[in-house]
């Protein structure tokens, strides 16, 4: 019962965007995806979440091929936060988060409660009746995060749930970056399998159980932060020669240039 990608390839308009990608995402684990711009991270996320069908290879979610899932059943176990939000209608934050409850039949009272809790979890309770169109980038990102959290707020029977996040911290200030990582870790502790694209290697090292490094459409390296974040790999992939030390408290690798 895992989220799995087998020998995945994606060709679009004459380019090989992904080549021979194999990934297994376990429940209750955080998998961070890193890599330079244009490495295929977002395309991988799109194939993984069923938005783009792969040219070859297979995506399976809980032992069932992704495209064979009933969409509503799938929405109860797989929640996806895209990189950009194109919402330009004046919903307020509560209404946006409530959209996350669409696949469920849990009733208005329960949904209302979940919406409130999710908003307070991402520190956005004060936005409750503010219009989405008038929020700052970071506020929008937190409200959207609350929406995808509300979608998998409760376990769905015995099935494993997964949360896919494409750069969830890109518009956030430092304290909200840390908050987001804490929320994600708590979700993982609850048993949810997390996949997230993230640019900050230190944030990735701090929270991830596994790091996958993408470059030019294929996976260069994967494994624990200690194993992956080496000087050789970073200079090969990102073209800079960094210094790597151990974090004095967490003992995780710290990368700086």
Partner 1 sequence: MRIISAQALCLLLLASLPFAVMFGLNSGAVDIPIETIIDLGFEVFQSSDKDTVTQQVKTILFDIRLPRICLAILIGAILAISGAVMQGLFRNPLAAPSLIGVSSGASVGASVVIVLAGAWLQSNTALGLSLVAVGAFIGSFLVTVLVYRLSTSALGTSVTTMLLAGIAVSALAGAVSGLFSYYADNEMLRQISIWQMGNLSTANWQRVLVLAVVAILVLSLFPRESKSLNALLLGESEARHLGIDVQQVKRKLILLTTLGIGTAVAIGGMIGFVGLIVPHIVRLLIGPDHRWLLPVSALAGGVLLLLADTIARIIIAPTELPTGILTAILGAPFFIMLLVQQRREL
Q: Per rule CB under 8 A, is residue 140 in the interface with partner 1?
A: no
The answer to whether residues 212 and 219 touch, using CB atoms and an 8 Å cutoff, is: yes
* 193: nearest Cα among 64, 24, 21: 24
The answer to whether residues 53 and 70 touch, using CB atoms and an 8 Å cutoff, is: no
Fill in the per-residue mask, 20 to 49: x = in contact with partner 1 (CB under 8 A), - = not in contact. Answer: --------------------------x--x
Residues 83-102 binding partner 1 (CB under 8 A) are 85-92, 95-96, 99-100, 102
Q: Per rule CB under 8 A, is residue 129 in the interface with partner 1?
A: yes
Which of 4, 19, 41, 74 forms a contact with partner 1 (CB under 8 A)?
74
Judged by CB under 8 A, the number of residues near partner 1 is 31
Give the nearer residue to partner 1 in terms of CB position, either 87 or 233: 87
Which of 20, 36, 50, 57 forms a contact with partner 1 (CB under 8 A)?
50
Give the nearer residue to partner 1 in terms of CB position, either 164 or 203: 164
The full DSSP string for 149-204 is: HHHTSS--TT---EEEEESTTTT--HHHHHHHHHHHHHHHHTT-EEEEE-S-HHHH
Residues 142-181 binding partner 1 (CB under 8 A) are 151
Q: Per rule CB under 8 A, is residue 73 in the interface with partner 1?
A: yes
- The greatest distance separating any two alpha carbons of the chain, rounded to the nearest whole angstrom, comes to 55
Q: Per rule CB under 8 A, is residue 53 in the interface with partner 1?
A: no
Q: Per rule CB under 8 A, is residue 79 in the interface with partner 1?
A: yes
CB of 82 to partner 1, least distance (A): 6
Exposure class string for 226-248: b at 16+ Cβ within 10 A, else e: eebbeeeebeebbeeebeeeeee
Give the nearer residue to partner 1 in terms of CB position, either 88 or 175: 88
Long-range contacts of 172-178 (CB under 8 A, 24+ apart): 172/138, 172/141, 172/142, 173/138, 176/123, 176/138, 176/142, 177/203
Interacting residues with partner 1 (CB under 8 A) = 46, 49-51, 71-76, 78-80, 82, 85-92, 95-96, 99-100, 102-103, 129, 133, 151
């Amino acid at each position: 019962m895992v989220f799995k990608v087998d020998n995945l390839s994606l060709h679009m308009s004459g380019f090989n965007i992904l080549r021979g990608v194999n990934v297994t995402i376990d429940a209750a684990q955080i998998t961070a995806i890193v890599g330079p711009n244009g490495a295929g991270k977002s395309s991988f996320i799109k194939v993984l979440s069923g938005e783009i069908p792969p040219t070859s290879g297979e995506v399976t979610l809980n032992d069932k091929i992704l495209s064979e899932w009933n969409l509503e059943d799938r929405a109860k176990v797989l929640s996806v936060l895209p990189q950009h939000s194109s919402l330009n209608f004046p919903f307020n934050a509560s209404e946006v988060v409530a959209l996350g409850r669409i696949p469920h039949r849990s009733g208005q009272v329960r949904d209302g409660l979940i919406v409130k809790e999710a908003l307070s979890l991402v520190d956005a309770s004060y936005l409750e009746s503010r219009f989405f169109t008038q929020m700052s980038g970071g506020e929008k990102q937190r409200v959207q995060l609350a929406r995808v959290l509300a979608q998998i707020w409760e376990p769905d029977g015995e099935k494993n749930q997964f949360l896919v996040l494409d750069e969830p911290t890109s518009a956030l200030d430092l304290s909200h970056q840390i908050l987001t990582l804490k929320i994600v870790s708590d979700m993982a502790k609850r048993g949810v399998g997390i996949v997230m694209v993230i640019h900050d290697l230190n944030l990735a090292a701090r929270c991830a159980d596994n790091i996958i490094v993408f470059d030019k459409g294929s996976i260069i390296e994967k494994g624990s932060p200690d194993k992956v974040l080496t000087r050789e790999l970073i200079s090969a992939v990102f073209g800079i020669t960094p210094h790597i030390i151990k974090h004095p408290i967490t003992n995780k690798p710290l990368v700086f240039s």
